[in-house]
Structure formats: structure tokens, C-alpha cells
Amino acid sequence: MYVNYSKRNLTEIPRNIPRNSTMLDFHMNIITDIPSNIFQNMSDVTWIDLSQNWLNRIRNESFAGLKNLTTLNVSHNHLHISDLEHNAFVPIQQLRTLRIDDLKFLPSSKFPEQLVNLKQLEILELAAFIGMTFDERFNVWTCLHTFISKNSYGLHLQNYTFSGLTNSPLRTLSIKIKQADADALEHLPNLQILNLYFGVATVQNTIENSFKMVSNFTTLTRILMQRVNARAYIFIVTGIYLHYFKNICLKELVFRHMYLADIDGTSFKEFAINSVCLESLEVSGNIGYPWITLLVLFKNLKHLKLSSIENNAFLKQVSMLHAMTTSLPKSLETVDLLGINLKMPLPNITFINGDNVWFLTCRAFTLIECNGYVSGLKNLRYLDVSENRCGNMINEYIFQGFPKLEFLIATHSDLGTAFRNNKRLDILLKPLKNLKHVDVSYNNFRNADIANLNVQNQYNVLQSFNCSNNAFNQVPSFFRHFTNLSFIDISYNNVSTFNRDERDIIDSFIGKAKLVLVGNPFKCSCSNLDFLKWAKQTKAYYFGQLYCQLESGENTTFADLFVYLDRFENRCHDKIWLIFSLSFTTLVVIMVVFVVVYLRYRSAFQYFYLRIKLRLKQYEELDGDSYLYDVFICYNHNDVPWVVNFNRRLTAANFKTCLDAKDFIAGEAIAENILRAIDSSRKIIFIITEHFLQSTWGNYEMELTRMHAFQEGRENMVIVIMKDDLSIHQMPKVLKRFWYKVTCIKWYDQGIQPFQTEEIFYENVFSSLSIA
């Protein structure tokens, strides 16, 4: 049983560890001591990790009771050899793996007996020290097959360094050295894997001796040589060094940050031809030229990795090419290219002998544009083009040469900007009919950028789609068409809720696909209550511990919200009714105010409405000196006989009159005709009778006239003739306004006053009409 106590800030080992535990993980705590007998009666434990703590002592009885312990890791504890009591490892002499890679020794000290007695060790990871020697005491070590020592303090590999390990089947040696003699490994006849790390203090002749000391090891299958401080010193590797490999059947060779530019083409050619066993070659940093073009000579090379190319002369020549052809070994299967600083547009590249290549990574190229294409890799199934910012220029047919591609990784490449600037990229994935896995995370994509992306050829084959860390605020709509998706990652986007269509899409993946939504700014508010109810009732396992923001600004998990969702819903309904009530009340108040204002100023509204309507009909108002009529006579039709005689007398006196019967335009609205008549007449005469006051149109004409007189500043345009004898309280408000502002003319009443005659009446009318 695995028991995990890691990363808990423990200061001591717990005393209540389950007795049936088999694996105990205490790494990354602040434990300082392992008390005696703390593991007593825990014979089932086979594996303990105490790395990355603050141990300052290991007692004789610290591991008592662990009679079946086979693996112990106490690395990164800053232990000194003096912190180990003499019998510290006696209780666990059956140990097979010990990792204690930062144990500090005194200069020129010897291996303590505590370690020598671990005769069953198979794997030892230990910090090397000056004068480190596996002497004759280690002749009893017959199981050790792996020794790792990446932390060294000035180690000098000498002929006798490993003299006591002659009986050990040591097959793997990983060690950091300062100096090395050419015969330092002669006591390790079974060595198969050698990893050499050169630090800051390593001298140049150590590099050549490192090549010499492996020259007679026919058992070696893997060699790694790495400069640890890549920028500190330059170790020059010349062509002659490669001759030391001619008798070795190497399957894997790794040069990391070793300066290879001085290797001549002839030496590399000979090395390539002789390396019939080599299957994997990795070269990182300071790669040379022209020998890179000789890679085709490796007959059985399957895996090639080139990274961090820093040879300026080589890069300059490549950057001048618009098209290039590269021959590959026919056996090559994988190509890993990383961090090549080209600073150029992508040329058209044709690979020869690339039919077996199925894996290609081209990460972190500094390309100006990606408007070229690649051909010759027709069986490629995996492609990683991440961290390549191609600006706005990406050839929409760039993937056309990979018809069998199944994996496409294109992260951290700002493809969103490219798609926004080049609408033709909608067909980018169209040639990839076998595409199963897509990763376009960290690309600043928005929904609109891929709204028209053509993925019809992937509807039935795509299995996973990672679009995390973009700027999507919705689930891409084309997801609904994928029938075989098993993994969808939309984490760390801008999704705050799911609308009905998005929910339908997610519903279609229930039980079929894993959906990752963490890191989205979900909103738990009344406005998306339907979404929250849907999430709880049918899809809660998709949300679980995801966070959402309440309307108060606080964050909560969906799981916590689901507990009181019913109460949350009730509060939302109360809030909705409150908002509705306030809105309805406000609307009613506004309507009441509007009705009151309209009724109070109805004539004004009607007047301006008619004005606007006439202007829309392109009606032009007459100026003040060009009226069509002298007077517009307003009357009630019950008074027609009197009005006919009145109109005859005015016409005989050369006044041009406007009457509805003869001057209104047939087919026009009455209100429009009235406004035209008022507009076209110098004076307006109202014939006031009992019939007139009872007429709706009579009041309407007086209101329009009053508004017109007020708007045009023509207060003297109105003449009121009182034909019938009416008291002031019988008059409507609008007539009272005229009554108090202008002098009215009364129709004469025979026999009452000598000056009330028909002649005097018409003289007053003619006089009033003559006033400008």
C-alpha cells in the first residue's frame, strides 16, 4: 500500500503509519531526524523516499525493523558523512537501491564501512569526491549494475578508481568529472552505458582522454558527453576524436553543448560509414557544417535530434536559401529539431529518403514567415511545430505533404493572430484526413478566428482536442460534429457560462469524452440559473471542484453551490419579481405621466406631428409676404347660409377668402387641410355660434391656430366674430384665451343700439382684415 506524506510541511515522521504499508513517501517536508525504531514492525515496507528534507542525522537504529526494504532515497538533505552513525545501514543490508547524491565527504577520504557493507546494492546514486576509490573492499559487491554521480567535487578518474568493482556487473555509469586518465575504465569490462558530464573546472585534455578511454569498449552501446555549464567554457571536439569510436558498436551517441565545428567532413564521413550500429544521434549546440549534410551516410540511423544550433556560418548559408533538398538516411524514423535560430522565411523543403519518418518536431524555430511547404514525408504521423511565431504569413497548404498525419501539436505560436489576418487558413486542416489528436493551446484564439475552420475530414476520426489557454468565450461550435472525441481541454479560457447550444454539444459527449474546464471564469448568477441547474442535475461531475464567481464577487466551488442551489434559485426568483415589480411600476408611472402631459398639451403634439408629416411630404411654408388668402373662415356647417352671405360681402370688398368647401384639397386629411389653410392665410376668422362651440372641429381649428400664432409670432392674426349672444362661461378655454387677448366683433342685434348696424359690423370686419 502506497502512503503519501509528501509536501505536508512535516517536521517529524508520523508515528501512526499503517502497519500494512509497502511504500512510504516523505519527500519535500522539513523532517530533521529519523528516530530510532520509528519503523519497528513494518516489515512489509520495500520503498521509502525521504528526499528534499532537512535530515541532519541517521542513527544506528533509524531503519530498524525494515528487513524487506529494497529502495531508499535520502537525496537533497545536505548530509555529511559524519552524520551517518557507524551502523546506520546495518538493519537494511538487503538494500538494492540507494540514492544519496549530495552526501558530503572530507577531501581524500575513503568510503565508510556503512556503505561498503551494502553488498546487495544494484543501483547507487552518490556524490563523487576527491580521491574517491572503489578499493579491494568492494570485491564483495557482485550485484551493482548502475552507478550515478552527477554531483562531484573535483573528481579525477584514474586507473584505480574502479579497481574494486571488477566482480560487479556494472553496466551503467553516469558521472561528472574534472579530469580523466585514458585507462580509467579498464576495470569495468561490462560497461554498456556511459554518461560523462564535464563541469566548469574540466580541462581540455580530459575531453580527448574521455574519447580514448572508451576506444576499446566493444560492449558500449550508449555514450553521452555533456558540458554542464553550457555558456561557461568551450570544449573543442576535432575530427580525430571520432576515430576512437571505430571499434565500438554504438547504438546511441549524444553530444550536448560540445563544440563540434572543428570536425572536418572527411573524419565525419568515415565515422558515419563505420557506424553501422548507430541508431540514435543527438547533437545539441554548436553544430558544424558541412558535415551535417553527411547524415545520409548513417546506414541504420533511426533517431536524430538536433537542437540549439549556434553555428552562425551554417545558419547564414541556410537563411539565403529559398528552396532546399535534404537527404536523410533511409532507416530514419524520428527527427527532433529544437531551438534553431534561423531568422528567415521558411523555404520550400524537400526531403529525400523520408518515407520511414513518422515523427517530426520543429520547436522554437525563429522564422519570419511560414509561407513555404514541406514534402517528402508522406508517412509522417506525428508533427510538433510549437513555439514558432510565423507572423501573418502561413501557407494554408503547409500540411498538404502529410496525408497520414495523426498528431498535430502547435502550441505557443500565436496562431490566433495569423487566423485573424489570413482568412484562407480556414482550410489549413483540410488535407489531414487521418488527424486524431490536436493541441493548439496558448495561441490567443478567439471564437471568431476558427468559426469557419474546415474540419469536415476529421468529423469521424478526431479523438482529442486541446484548446486550453486561449481566449474562447464559448465552446467551438464544430465540436458537435465530432463522433469519436474522447478528450477535450477548454481550460483557462474565458468561458463564463454555457448557452443552450453549448449544453447540447456537451450532452453529446457524456460518457464518451473527458472534458477539462478548470481555470475558466464561470459566473454563478441569477442570469445563468438555467446553466447552474443543468450543471447540477445532469453534468455535476464535469464541474465538481471548479470555481465560479458569485454576484457578490466571492468565489465558490460548484460543489458547494450545488448544496444550496434551491435556496439560491429562490433568492433569484425573489430578485426577479422585485426587478419586475419595480420595472412595471416605473413603466406605469411613465405611462401616466405621458398621458397627463399628452392630454394637457395634446394640441401642441398634434400641431408638431402635422408639421413633421407635411415636411416629409416636402411641403414648403409660405413666407410672410406671399399669403394665398387674406382670410381663412372657420365656421360650423349649420351656419352655412349666414357664412355664404358673409363670404359674398368679403369677396365684394376684394378680400380673397379660404373656405373648406371650395379650397380644401380632396383626398387630403382634414387636419392637414386645416393646417395648410392657416399657413396660407393672413387672417383667421372664427364665426362663433352655439353650433360652432359644440363642434369638435371648431375647437380643433382654434387650438391649431393658437399654436401657429404662438410659433410664428402672429398674435394679431385671429379675428373672433360673436354671431350668437353667448356668455363667457359658455366659452371653452381656448376661446377665452382669444377673448381676453383680442377685441371681438359682435354681429349686430336690430333695435338695441343705433350704432349696431350691419354696415358698422362690416366696416369693423373690413378694418380688422386690413390691419397687417
DSSP code string of 329-396: -TT--EEEEE-----BPPPEEEEES-TT--EEEEES--BS-B---EES-TT--EEE-TT---TT-B-T
Nearest to 688 by CA among 721, 734, 643, 645: 721
pTM above 0.75, yes or no: no
Instruction: Indicate the DSSP class of residue 69.
Output: -
Number of alpha helices (DSSP H) and beta strands (DSSP E) in the chain: 18, 34
CA torsion sign for 346, 422, 363, 401 is negative
Distance CA 521, CA 494 (A): 6
Of all helices (H) and strands (E), which one includes residue 23? strand 23-25
Distance CA 223, CA 237 (A): 15
Nearest to 200 by CA among 222, 178, 174, 168: 178
Of all helices (H) and strands (E), which one includes residue 652? helix 640-652
Distance CA 111, CA 120 (A): 16
Instruction: Indicate the DSSP class of residue 137.
Output: G
Residue 374 burial (CB count, 10 A): 22
Distance CA 421, CA 395 (A): 12
CA torsion sign for 469, 470, 473, 475 is negative
561-592 burial code (b ≥16 CB/10 A, e <16): bbeebeebeeebeeeeeeeeeeeeeeeeeeee
Query: Which residues, 6+ apart, have CB-to-CB distance to 728 below 8 Å?
Result: 736, 739
Residue 106 burial (CB count, 10 A): 12
Q: Is 33 left (phi over 0), alpha (psi -120 to 50) or beta?
A: beta
Residue 351 burial (CB count, 10 A): 22
How many angstroms separate the first and last alpha carbons of the chain? 115
Distance CA 449, CA 441 (A): 14
What is the pairing mode between strands 23-25 and 47-49?
parallel
Structural domain boundaries in the chain: 623-770
Helices of type H across 202-242 = 204-212
Q: Pick one of 3.40.50.300, 3.20.20.80, 1.10.287.130, 3.40.50.10140 as the CATH number of 623-770.
A: 3.40.50.10140
The identity of residue 84, as a single letter, is: L
Nearest to 100 by CA among 127, 121, 118, 81: 127
464 forms beta bridges with: 437, 487
pLDDT along the chain (772 residues), means of 10: 93 91 95 93 93 93 93 92 89 93 79 85 89 89 93 82 93 91 91 89 80 88 85 68 88 86 80 92 72 84 85 59 84 91 81 95 84 91 90 84 95 90 89 96 92 92 96 92 93 94 88 90 89 80 83 87 85 72 82 77 66 65 72 88 89 89 82 81 86 77 72 74 79 73 73 68 84 72
Distance CA 608, CA 87 (A): 109
| pLDDT at residue 364, as a whole number | 86
| pLDDT at residue 156, as a whole number | 87
Distance CA 738, CA 142 (A): 129
Distance CA 522, CA 19 (A): 44
Distance CA 485, CA 497 (A): 22
Distance CA 528, CA 496 (A): 9
Q: What are phi and psi of 64, to 5 degrees?
A: -65, 140
**Are the C-beta atoms of 77 and 53 separated by less than 8 Å?**
yes
Distance CA 699, CA 702 (A): 5
Query: Which residues, 6+ apart, have CB-to-CB distance to 441 below 8 Å?
Result: 411, 412, 466, 467, 468, 469, 470, 489
The identity of residue 322, as a single letter, is: H
